[in-house]
Chain A
């Protein structure tokens, strides 16, 4: 066994029979920013948020639909949307941005700037040393020993990882990077013509003019395309989607002041995970997931608050 191990470690020996016949880069891995799933073999794409990928069983399978239920004011769900677009830019994919509210060009300008490995590594190192020194000072206190083994949703990026990237929400993406990619747009207000052919047969001329005048004002002043969610429609869309994730922000709710949740901005609910090529789906063991918006990063973590809750009840 020892001989085998050394043989594997130093391939220059050459004598080992355990050699990979296929070159490491398979046909599937040739597409930037993707990797095949271990579980069902479908090609996976990162959502732009590695901690979300982890919750969804490794990433989004190519050809599936992810539905994000907005939080109350759409702040955090918008962030997820931007992360996904930014991931596409970093991987050099072509983008198609469709919007009913905001101009797609403006959306692209506000995407978060990617953190590349060298920059991020320094930060992680700094963080780690900070944590270490903190731990040392608290070594005598072992009250929270139970949480030491809690799985961390956030995996720190390895230098070689090409799947999933980290972004700095405090900075916007550089215009040079934006110029380097190809993108297409669909902006609803542009698509609706200003002078529709209103059938005048049943309407008097004055009434048509009135409608056109109202339409013109709406165009000039802008309009809010959002409308309250219809629960029946939500149910159907949920059934038709592959992955469904809901965000519940604490803004305006009583949980905002609850000390259990003081570290988090809201909860994330994974409503549905696709069953691809199998009878069951990848369900992550933990259901208590919360999200936190730090100065630079948005992360999803196991909610420590709720496990404390379990212990005390």
Chain B
């Protein structure tokens, strides 16, 4: 039941921290909005003391911050502590198109939207450097959170490049740093968006856990917003109640 997401997902929380290291979690939504899962994971990892890199392509910082406050976390404070690295996609895109020239050696992670031949490599570099332990901070495992991956396709990135980006991130975050990746994608059974379906299908095969939020097949209901399916949760089995 989605009516109260934070507490209802709590059965996952313990297991996610203990068992889950070096894993890719896919959040998938169909006929509903799965962003509540993103908000949940963001506040959950921040509360757990993980170092989080949040690639927020969909909404503004204030939106995420207000919701996080409702869930008991302050993003502003987390940013100041150095626990959270927040990439605000809407702002970065604006800077690429209309902003002043960047300083040398400081490339905008979203430079690829300018179609000047640059690709997702700058974004990957951004993720890697922001999650690298600088020695002084004592955060737990690093986490990469993306909301949402489908936006990259809308920005004109080829599906192959999106998959490459995730693969590179898995190597850097999951394998080297023993951290986690959480990614949101949209999907639809009768979708004609072949590029998006390609990305979703490939990610389903690569991920270690899939949380699939679906709207009710019977249509709108006042009390229940939808259902969540858990797939490929083999590693969680011993921890589940």
Contacts and interface: CB of A to CB of B under 8 A. Distances in A.
B115 interface: no
Interface stretch (B120-128, B168-176, B185-193): B185-193
Interface string B147-179: 000110110000000000000000000000000
B192 A232 contact: yes
A221 interface: no
A94 interface: no
Contacts of A239: 150-151, 154, 186
Given A240-B151, A240-B154, A279 B36 contact: yes
A283 to B, nearest CB: 8
A19 B62 CA distance: 33
Nearest to B60: A63
Binding site secondary structure of chain A:
loop
Interface string A272-309: 00011111110101010000000000000000000000
A191 interface: no
A118 interface: no
Interface residues of B, number: 26
Given A232-B192, A235-B188, A239-B186, A276 B154 contact: no
A278 B5 CA distance: 12
Contact of B67 (A231, A277, A287): A277
Contacts of A285: 222
A283 B222 CA distance: 9
Interface string B220-231: 101001000000
B63 interface: yes
B218 to A, nearest CB: 12
A279 B192 contact: no
A199 B67 CA distance: 53
Interface of B: 5, 33, 35-36, 39, 62-63, 66-67, 70, 150-151, 153-154, 186, 188, 191-196, 219-220, 222, 225
